[in-house]
């Protein structure tokens, strides 16, 4: 079983008496496996932002071929991955906050200074990542949401779930309100908004492609604009509400033993059933409505968006159920490569950006706007194989991924041990 046995158990972690970061031997194995699957599962969605204009991420008819195999790649990634793995990753981040702070408090240390220093560095990483490399960064959002999640982490499980769901509903309230108000917007403002986020003109498409095919300095003005819009404007309208709510939900699920493969198998089978019988049908229905109205800005962006927004949580729990059932089975060894990716989650997330911007942006191969959805998925498969192999090899010689080691060293303000201890 790959669950939480021996020193990898929750109680084993909490009983550790020093104040350094959790050693590899004391990690919750199921969390690492799930985190690894989440990191890998994020890439099929992110590669669309790396390779195509921003509007194509939310409106697949805005750019590129959407026929035949390209349609099916888009539809299956929308059904299986869109908002699903970032949901899992957000829940795991909340669980990590609980796990780390509980362990520090159990050893008699004050958790708050370490936690806030850890979030401050993550916020800086997010700003650097977003402004210097890729505008789709999520680290800043996690760092900001982690500040509040720490304050609320000790609420009862029931209250965590209620408050979490209420926060997630915040995006729905804002989106529906904006959709209802749209007919009253000044025509010029509505036209500008439509071209900016939903259906850019040919000239705007050409400008965006030209910007990201230029060199690193040439891309900077466009990247600065796009990153500011996502890291700050979209944070207030969408990201904060859902990510904060999911972090609280993740704390609750971890405290219930759900995310550490400690619950009975029937719980996880229930998650899978909900994903298949409720989540998938809702997403499919929402997609049908999008095409029925021709991907209309008001209907699709503000109203029909809600189907996947909420159903993605159910599908995410279905993925959790699958991974936890494998963790509990005799086939748990199959997840060891994913565990290695999960232990190096931050490194692998940033590695995605390095690889993909090198392929698509002008400082690399300059393929931005030239690669359709089928080849995108083929690239995802190649990157997955590389990350699964390199993560397993790296962790044979080193205790942490390179970025994890840097983050830990900065958090504890002392160099952490890097090389793995020799066996035998």
Beta bridge partners of 419: 398
- Cβ-count burial of 224 within 10 angstroms (0-12 exposed, 13-18 middle, 19+ buried)? middle
Tell me the per-residue pLDDT of 167-221, one tens digit each, with 9 for 90 and over.
Answer: 999 999 999 999 999 999 999 999 999 999 999 999 999 999 999 999 999 999 9
Report residue 95 as tokens.
Answer: 């669980």
Q: What is the model's pLDDT at position 421?
A: 65
Q: pLDDT digit string (tens) for 41-56?
A: 999 999 999 999 999 9
Q: What are phi and psi of 419, to 5 degrees?
A: -75, 145
Chain segment 386-399, per-residue pLDDT in tens: 999 999 999 999 99
Helix axes 139-152, 111-132, angle to 10 degrees: 160
pLDDT at 18 over 50: no
SS3 labels along the chain: CCCCCHHHCHHHHHCCCCCCCCCHHHCCHHHHHHHHHHHHHHHHHHHHHHHCCCHHHHCCCCCCCCCHHHHHHHHHHHHHCCCHHHHHHHHHHHHHHHHHHHHHHHCCCCHHHHHHHHHHHHHHHHHHHHHHCCCCCCHHHHHHHHHHHHHHCCCCHHHHHHHHHHHHHHHHHHHHHHHHHHHHCCHHHHHHHHHHHCCCCHHHHHHHHHHHHCCHHHHHHHHHHHHHHHHHHHHHHHHHHHHHHHHHHHHHHHHCCCCCCCCCHHHHHHHHHHHHHHHHHHHHHHHHHHHHCCCCHHHHHHHHHHHHHHHHHHHHHHHHHHHHHHHHCCCHHHHHHHHHHHHCHHHHHHHHHHHHHHHHCCCCCCCCCCCCHHHHHHHHHHHHHHHHHHHHHHHHHECCCHHHHHHHHHHHCCCCCCECCCCC
Q: What is the per-residue pLDDT across 272-314, written as a single tens digit (0 to 9) for each?
A: 999 999 999 999 999 999 999 999 999 999 999 999 999 999 9
* pLDDT at residue 353 in the model: 98
The predicted-structure confidence for 63-104, as pLDDT tens digits, reads as follows: 999 999 999 999 999 999 999 999 999 999 999 999 999 999
Question: Would you say 307 and 283 are in contact if contact means Cβ atoms under 8 Å apart?
Answer: yes
Average pLDDT over residues 116-128: 98
Decide: 228 and 74 in contact? Cβ < 8 Å: no
Contact 231, 137 (CB under 8 A): yes
Q: Which of 216, 230, 232 is nearest to 357 (CA)?
A: 216
Q: Could you tell me the residue ranges of all domains in the chain?
A: 6-412
Whether 150 contacts 97, CB under 8 Å: yes
What is the reported pLDDT for 420?
77
CB-based contacts of 299, cutoff 8 Å, min separation 6: 179, 289, 290, 293
With 0-12 / 13-18 / 19 or more C-beta atoms within 10 angstroms meaning exposed / middle / buried, residue 335 is buried
Alpha-carbon distance 314 to 40, whole Å?
19
For the chain, the farthest-separated pair of C-alpha atoms sits apart, in whole angstroms, at 73
CA pair distance 313, 164, nearest whole angstrom: 12
Residue 422 is predicted with a pLDDT of 53
Q: Is the pLDDT of residue 27 over 70?
A: no
Q: Are 66 and 153 in contact (CB under 8 A)?
A: no
* End-to-end CA separation in angstroms for the chain: 24
* Closest by Cα among 403, 395, 392, 394 to 351: 403
Whether the pLDDT of residue 24 is over 50: the answer is: no
Q: What does the block give as tokens for 276?
A: 């298949």
Task: Say how far apart CA 409 and CA 93 lie, in whole Å.
Answer: 19
In angstroms, the CA 160 to CA 94 distance is 11
CA 382/CA 281 separation, integer angstroms: 31
Where is pLDDT greater, at 196 or 19?
196
């Amino acid at each position: 079983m790959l669950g939480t046995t021996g020193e990898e158990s929750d109680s084993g972690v909490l009983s550790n008496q020093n104040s350094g970061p959790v050693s590899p031997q004391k990690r919750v194995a199921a969390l690492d496996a799930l985190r690894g699957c989440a990191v890998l599962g994020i890439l099929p969605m992110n590669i669309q932002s790396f390779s195509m204009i921003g509007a194509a991420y939310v409106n697949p008819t805005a750019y590129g071929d959407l026929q035949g195999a390209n349609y099916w790649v888009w539809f299956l990634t929308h059904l299986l991955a869109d908002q699903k793995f970032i949901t899992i990753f957000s829940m795991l981040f909340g669980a990590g906050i609980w796990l780390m702070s509980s362990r520090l408090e159990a050893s008699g240390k004050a958790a708050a200074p370490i936690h806030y220093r850890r979030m401050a560095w993550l916020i800086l990483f997010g700003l650097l990542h977003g402004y210097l490399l890729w505008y789709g960064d999520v680290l800043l959002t996690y760092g900001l949401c982690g500040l509040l999640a720490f304050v609320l982490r000790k609420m009862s499980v029931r209250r965590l779930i209620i408050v979490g769901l209420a926060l997630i509903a915040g995006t729905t309230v804002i989106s529906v309100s904006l959709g209802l108000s749209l007919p009253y917007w000044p025509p010029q403002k509505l036209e500008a908004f439509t071209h900016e986020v939903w259906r850019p003109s040919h000239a705007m498409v050409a400008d965006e492609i030209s910007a990201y095919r230029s060199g690193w300095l040439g891309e900077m003005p466009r990247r600065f604009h796009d990153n500011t819009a996502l890291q700050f404007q979209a944070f207030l309208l969408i990201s904060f509400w859902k990510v904060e709510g999911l972090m609280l939900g993740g704390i609750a699920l971890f405290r219930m033993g759900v995310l550490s493969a400690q619950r009975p198998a029937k719980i996880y089978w229930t998650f899978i059933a909900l994903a298949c019988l409720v989540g998938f049908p809702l997403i499919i229905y929402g997609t049908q409505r999008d095409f029925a109205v021709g991907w209309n800005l008001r209907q699709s962006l503000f109203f029909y968006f809600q189907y996947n927004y909420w159903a993605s949580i159910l599908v995410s729990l279905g993925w959790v159920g699958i991974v936890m059932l494998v963790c509990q089975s005799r086939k748990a060894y199959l997840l060891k490569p994913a565990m290695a990716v999960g232990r190096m989650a931050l490194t692998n997330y940033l590695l995605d950006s390095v690889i993909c911007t090198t392929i698509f942006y002008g400082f690399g191969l300059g393929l931005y706007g030239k690669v359709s959805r089928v080849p995108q998925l083929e690239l995802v498969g190649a990157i997955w194989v590389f990350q699964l192999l390199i993560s397993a090899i790296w962790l044979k010689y080193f205790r942490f991924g390179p970025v994890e080691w840097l983050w830990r060293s900065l958090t504890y303000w002392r160099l952490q041990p890097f090389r793995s201890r020799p066996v035998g």
